[in-house]
Amino acid sequence: MSPFKVIAFDADDTLWVNEPIFTETQEKFKAIVGPYLHPDGKDLEDILYQTELRNLRLFGYGIKGFTLSMIETGIEISRGKMTATEIAQVIEMGKEMLEHPVELLPGVRETIEGLQGRYELMVITKGDLFDQESKLARSGIADLFQRIEVVSEKDEPTYQEVLQRNGVDMSTFLMVGNSLKSDILPICRLGGRAVHIPFHTTWQHEQLEQHRIDGHDYAELPDISLLPGFLEL
């Protein structure tokens, strides 16, 4: 029998599509501020990424912080010449992201429905509380989970606090997600078990070098629909 009683899932790019929405918006942003870039200057993606990193401690993760970082980057690149119309365009892009339809990844609904009743199911996701709650409500699968936790960061102290507050024993807990940095390694470092389900794109902030994951015991599945079979091994 499976040793697990509680299974927690990451949300963005584990249950539904997220990163491609950011990538598409970033391309639109390039079209707006590209003319301001100096031919010999830094790459726009790198400037935006560095701005996002600086702002994480203030804005946290999510679309609102990303939108503000785009505006700040545009003003920086244009040396203050970015127009009010262009700023309004970026704000509208952010609103479109917030209202983007929630697209479940293949096999998600069937897998979660199959596990319901056999395990206690959780969502542990980081980001803006309002945005994540909205996506969960629009996903059509929120009622399949017994517990939903939206956190500002996913590291060892956060996982410890969440599990202790919910009375979950690490020995019977399994974390499932697409990010090695946020979903897998913190749990492994705490002595828990995790399943990595890679997404075809990973935000730069979530990427890790291979040598940093050596020695940690975690499983990797190419598709979430394989999770029930893994649990029966």
Interval 99-157: pLDDT, tens = 999 999 999 999 999 999 999 999 999 999 999 999 999 999 999 999 999 999 999 99
For the chain, what is the largest distance between any 2 Cα atoms, rounded to a whole number of angstroms? Answer: 64
Confidence bin at 164 (pLDDT 50/70/90): very high
User: pTM of the predicted model, to two decimals?
Assistant: 0.88
Q: Is 13 left (phi over 0), alpha (psi -120 to 50) or beta?
A: left
Q: Where does the chain hold its CATH 3.40.50.1000 domain(s)?
A: 6-16+102-231
- Quote the tokens at residue 76: 């920086």
3-state secondary structure at position 128: coil
Q: Which CATH number fits domain 6-16+102-231: 3.40.50.720, 3.40.50.1000, 3.40.50.460, 3.40.50.2000?
A: 3.40.50.1000
pLDDT value, residue 201: 54
pLDDT value, residue 85: 97
pLDDT value, residue 213: 58
Which of residues 25 and 213 earns the better pLDDT score? 25
Q: How far is it, in rounded angstroms, from Cα 184 to Cα 182?
A: 6
Burial category of 72 from C-beta neighbours within 10 Å (exposed 0-12, middle 13-18, buried 19 and up): middle
The answer to whether domain 19-98 has CATH 2.60.90.10 is no
Backbone angles phi, psi at 107, to 5 degrees: 85, -5
Give the residue-averaged pLDDT of 179-183. Answer: 92
Which of residues 204 and 65 earns the better pLDDT score? 65
Q: Where does the chain hold its CATH 1.10.150.240 domain(s)?
A: 19-98
pLDDT value, residue 204: 53
